Amino acid sequence: MLNFLLRRLAAGLVTLFVALFLMYILVNAAIDPLADLIESTAANKEQLIAQRTEQLDLDVNVVIRFFWWIGALFTGDMGEAWQSGQAVSDQLTRAIGSTIELVSAATVLSLLVGVTVGIVSALRQYSAFDYVIIFFSFLLFSLPSFWVAVLLKQWGAIGFNDFLRDPVIAWPVIIGASLLVGLLWALAIGGTARRRVQVFAIAAAANVALLAYVQLTGWWERPQIGPVLLALLGAGSAFAVAGVFAGLHNRRALYAGLTVVALGVALYFPMQVAFDQMTESHWLTALLALVTVAVGYGIGRLYGGPDWRLSARTGAAVALVMGTLIFVDQVMSVWGPYFDALGGRPIPTFGDRTPNLGGNYWVQVLDSFTHLILPTATLVLIAFASYTRYARSSMLEVMNQDYVRTARAKGLPERLVIVRHGFRNALIPLATIVPIDVITLIGGAVITENVFGRPGMGQLFVRSLDHAEIEPVMAYLLVVASLAIIANIVADLVYAAIDPRIRLDA
C-alpha cells in the first residue's frame, strides 16, 4: 500500500508540473493584458503600455515567468489579481468554499437517488417502472443544464415564491398527485396484482394524509418537523434501514434502530435548548454528527449477538437520519424571521448569500440552504440520469454472474443475495466514476454557476480569463489538476476496498 501511494504521488507530482507548465504557456498565449490599452485613444497610450508591461513583467520570457510563479508558490504566495488588487489566495478560498457547498449537496443527493433508483430499475427489468425510469433518464441526460436551470428559476423560485403568498393546494391536485405517487410505488415494488393494489392504496393514502396535514395545519407558514413527525419518520427509517441491512427478521438490528429513534425523540427538547446557545461553528456541527453516529453504533453494539455488526451499522445509520432530521427542524424554526426579512420571497435565484442579512447561526445556515436549492436541483437532475444508468447496467451485469446464481441455489434469502452479493459488486464501476465526477464539479459547474450567479470556481476561472489575469487562472488550474490526481488515487483505493481481488501492492 505504501509503495503504491509513493509511486502514484511521485507520478502525480511530475504530471502536475508538466500540466501546469503547458497550461501557463497556453494561458499566456490566450490572454492579452494590454488589449484595452492597445485599443485606447489616450494621448499617453505608449507610456501606459510601458508601465503595465513593467508591472506584469510582460517583457520577461514566459518560461522564466513560469518558474518565478512556481518559486513564489512554494513560499505560499499565489500572487494577486492585477486589476482588482485582491490576493489570489483570498479569491480562491471564497470561490472553492462556495463550490464545495454546491458539489457536496449535489453529489450526495444524486448518488443516493440515482443509485437507489438504478438498482430498483435493474431488479424490475423490463417492467413498466423500468421503462419509465429509462425514459426519464435519457430525457434528463439530453437536456442542456442551462435550460433546466432557467426552468427551475421560473417555476422553482419565482413560481414557488408566488405560491407562498397564498399557499393553498387544491384538493384535486392533492388527489391526482397521490394517485401518481401510489402508481409509482406499485410499479417499483411489483409482485402479484393483489400486492400491487395494496401498495398503491397504502402509498396513495399516505400521500393524501401528508398533503392534507400540510394543507390544514398551515405548515407552509410555520414549517417544522416536531417530535411527532420526528418519531414517525424515525420509525420508518428504522424499519427501512433494518430491512435493507439485516432483514426484518433480525430483531436485534430492528430493536437497535428503534432504540436510537426513541433516544432521538427523548433528546429533541434538550437539543433545542443546546442549539439556541450554539454560536456559528460548522466544526461543532460536524463534531455533533460524529458523536451521533458513534452513539448509534454503540447502541447497536450493546445488543450483541453473533451478528452485532449488522445491529451496529443499523444503529449508526438510523442515528444519522435522526440527527439530520433534528438539525433540519432547528434550521426550519427560524423560517418566520427569514421569510419576513426577504419580503415573503425566500427562494433566491442569484448568489450564494443574502447581503447584509444578519441574524444568528441558524439564519445564516437557512440562507445558505435556500441559495443551494436551485443550483443543487439542476446538478442533481443531470447527474441523476447518469448515475441511474450506471447503477442499472452494473447491477444487471452482476446479477447475471455465476456467483449470484450459486448464492440463490444455496437457498440464501433474496435480500441477502441482492445486498451482499449484488449491490456491493455493482458499486465497483461507480467507485471509478464518482471521484472524477466530483472533481469535475469542483472544477466549476460553469454554466450552472453563471445562471445562478454563484461566485464559485467556474466563475473565478471565466472572470479571470475575461480580465486577462493569469495568476487566478493558474491558481484555479493548480487546484483542479491537484484534485484530479488525488481523485484518481482515491478511486484506486476505493476500488480495492470494494473488490478484495485487487491488490495495490502487487
pTM of the model: 0.84
Q: CB-side exposure of 27: number of CA atoms within 13 Å?
A: 26
**243-249: Cβ within 8 A, 24+ apart:** 243/415, 244/415, 244/419, 245/310, 245/313, 245/314, 245/317, 245/419, 246/307, 246/310, 246/311, 246/314, 247/413, 247/415, 247/416
Helix/strand/coil for 87: strand
Helix/strand/coil for 280: coil
Is residue 14, in this structure, part of any structural domain at all?
A: yes
pLDDT (tens digit, 0 to 9) for every residue of the chain, 506 residues total?
677 788 888 888 999 999 999 999 999 988 888 888 887 777 788 888 888 888 888 888 899 999 999 998 888 888 888 887 888 888 888 888 888 888 888 888 888 889 889 998 998 888 889 999 999 988 888 888 888 888 899 888 889 999 988 888 889 999 999 999 999 989 888 888 898 999 999 999 999 998 888 888 888 888 888 888 899 999 999 998 888 877 778 889 999 999 999 999 999 988 887 777 766 677 888 888 999 999 999 999 998 878 888 899 999 999 999 999 999 999 998 898 898 888 888 999 888 888 888 778 888 889 999 999 999 998 888 888 888 988 999 999 988 888 888 888 888 888 888 887 888 788 887 877 887 777 777 765 778 888 888 888 888 888 888 888 889 999 888 988 888 888 888 877 777 776 666 665 55
- The angle, 0 to 180 degrees and rounded to 10, between the axes of the packed helices 282-302 and 308-332 is 150
- Round to whole Å and give the CA distance between 92 and 98: 10
Is residue 66, in this structure, part of any structural domain at all?
A: yes
Is residue 480, in this structure, part of any structural domain at all?
A: yes
Q: Is 482 exposed, middle or buried (0-12, 13-18, 19+ CB in 10 A)?
A: middle
Is residue 149, in this structure, part of any structural domain at all?
A: no
Helix/strand/coil for 80: strand
- Round to whole Å and give the CA distance between 366 and 332: 7
- Residue 93 C-alpha cell reads as 478560498
In which domain, by residue range, is 86 found? Answer: 2-90+446-498
CA nearest 184: which of 173, 171, 168, 196? 196
- Round to whole Å and give the CA distance between 170 and 92: 48
Is residue 452, in this structure, part of any structural domain at all?
A: yes
Is residue 76, in this structure, part of any structural domain at all?
A: yes
Q: Is 453 exposed, middle or buried (0-12, 13-18, 19+ CB in 10 A)?
A: middle
Is residue 37, in this structure, part of any structural domain at all?
A: yes
Is residue 344, in this structure, part of any structural domain at all?
A: no
- Residue 24 C-alpha cell reads as 501557463
Beta bridge partners of 80: 87
In 246-344, where does DSSP find H-type helix?
251-266, 268-276, 282-302, 308-332, 335-341
59 DSSP 8-state letter:
T
249 DSSP 8-state letter:
T
Number of domains in the chain: 1
481, 4 Cβ separation under 8 angstroms: no
